Amino acid sequence: MTTAPTPLRVIKARRTYYENVVRTLKTAPISAWFGMIVILIYAIFAIFAPWLAPHDQSEIIGKAYQPAGEACWLGCDQIGRDMYSRLIYGARNTIGIALITTLISFMVGGSLGVLAALQRGWLDQGISRVVDAFLAIPVLIFALMMLAVVGKSIVNLVIILALLDSTRVFRLARAVALNSVVMDYVESAKLRGEKMSWIVFKEVVPNILPPLITEFGLRFCFVFLTIAALSFLGVGVQPPTADWGSMVADSKTLINFPVTTFPYIPAPFYPAGAIALLTVAVNFVVDWFLQRTSGLRDGE
């Protein structure tokens, strides 16, 4: 082999990461753009809630069920708190709790899934059988049961849902990791004598990240909807913390009465609509991701 010193020139990457992102975004369909803008707006409201909301989430500013007007322009709830402010705080609380839950679920389920796929053998068998049993119980039902045992609190809610959801993440992470593990490039790394950590983080993880990110969006929606449902059922997020699911439940009687002031929409539809809009937005973005994830190419 030639060993003559070759002058080393700086060879630039053909396209920077930033350029790739811009190129990709340009090809996004309208639905995906709509989704991304909605998510961005929600994020702004969630992060800057204390500055954007006119009142605190537990501050009583008017009469019970006060109709919309100048003082509170979406009306007041059953004990006279400002609906609009609670809606904004709700973004922070509901999205925050769902996000933390999903993150924990991915850390636990994702790492166990990859580990099981790489190690196979008894470890894989053991975890997989336990997970199979958990998969046979619907999440909402199991969460209800566990909340009955350990009692209602946000921490309990997060832990229970994260653990339940991690069984679903485990299944997917294991499946995609298995697809990657059987590839010749992983065998090649083993033959080279690489350590397990290299194989996991340099060979397998970069390849399973795109499907896992897509799945993160879907799992987030699922967790978010489950938390909303549990709160709606009165066993999720507890007062006085503002939360969209419980806000729907608290104001549900208002649906039977006509609304005489602008914008003529019964109160439960604000928080319910807020939930629906976010999940629709995330789904639109995920749908676009799903359609283009097959390409791992640099740009084009």
Partner 1 sequence: MANDTKRVKGDILLEIKGLKIDGKSDDQWKPIIKGIDLTLRRGEVLGLIGESGAGKSTLGLAAMAFARPGCRITAGTIVFDGMDLTAADEAQKRGLRGSRIAYVAQSAAASFNPAHRILEQTIETAITHNIMPREKAETDARDLYKRLQLPNPDTIGTRFPHQVSGGQLQRAMTAMSMSCRPDLIIFDEPTTALDVTTQVEVLAAMRNIVEQFNTAAIYITHDLAVVAQMAHRIMVLRYGNLVEEAPTREMLKQPTQDYTKSLWAVRKLEKPESPNSDIVLSINHVDASYGGKVKVLDDVSVQVPRGRTVAVVGESGSGKSTLARAITGLLPISAGDISFNGKKLSRALIDRDRDTLRRIQMIYQSADTALNPRQRVRDIIGRPLEFYLGLKGADRDRKVVSLLESIELDETYIDRFPSELSGGQKQRVSIARALAAEPELIICDEVTSALDQIVQEEILKLLMKLQKDTNVTYLFITHDIATVRAISDEIVVMHKGKVVQQGLKSKVLNPPYPAYTELLLSSVPEMDPDWLTNLLKKRAKA
Partner 2 sequence: MNLVLKTVLQRLGLGLITLFAVSIIIFSSLQMLPGGYAQNILGQGATPETVKNFNHELGLDRPATVRYVEWIGNAVRGDFGNSYSGTTGTIKRSVSAIIGPRLFNTFFLASMAAIIAVPLSLALGLLAALYRNSWYDRIINSVTLTTIAMPEFFIAYILVFVFAVKLRWFSPLSTVGEHTPFLEHIYRAALPALTMTLVIVAHMMRMTRASVLNLLSSPYIEMAQLKGASKAYVILRHALPNAWAPIATVVAFNLAYLVVGVVVVEVVYVYPGIGQMMVDAVSSRDMPVVQACALIFAATYITLNLLADIISITTNPRLLHPK
Question: Segment near partner 2 (CB under 8 A), from 16-24, 43-51, 205-213, 263-271?
Answer: 263-271
Cα(148)–Cα(298) distance, rounded to whole angstroms? 51
Indicate the residue among 6 and 256 with the shorter CB distance to partner 1: 6
By CB under 8 A, residue 287 contacts partner 2: yes
CA neighbours within 13 Å on the CB side: how many for 73? Answer: 4
Q: How far is CA 77 from CA 64, 190, 230, 232, 245, in A?
A: 6, 62, 20, 15, 14
- Residue 282: what residue type? V
By CB under 8 A, residue 60 contacts partner 2: no
Residue 222 · residue 278 · CB < 8 Å:
no
By CB under 8 A, residue 9 contacts partner 1: yes
Q: How far is the CB of 205 from partner 2 (least distance, A)?
A: 28
SS3 82: strand
Query: 141 contacts which partner out of partner 2, partner 1, none, CB within 5 to 8 A by kind?
Result: partner 2
Integer-rounded Cα Rg, in Å, for the chain is: 24
Query: 6 contacts which partner out of partner 1, partner 2, none, CB within 5 to 8 A by kind?
Result: partner 1
Cα(120)–Cα(136) distance, rounded to whole angstroms? 22
By CB under 8 A, residue 138 contacts partner 2: yes
Query: 247 contacts which partner out of partner 2, partner 1, none, CB within 5 to 8 A by kind?
Result: none
By CB under 8 A, residue 192 contacts partner 1: yes
Q: Which of 42, 84, 216, 284 binds partner 2 (CB under 8 A)?
A: 284
Indicate the residue among 204 and 220 with the shorter CB distance to partner 2: 220
Indicate the residue among 17 and 51 with the shorter CB distance to partner 1: 17
By CB under 8 A, residue 261 contacts partner 2: no
Residue among 184, 212, 189 at smallest CA distance from 202: 189
Cα(73)–Cα(124) distance, rounded to whole angstroms? 56
Positions that interact with partner 1 (CB under 8 A): 1-6, 8-9, 11-14, 183-185, 187-188, 190-194, 202-203, 206-207, 295-298
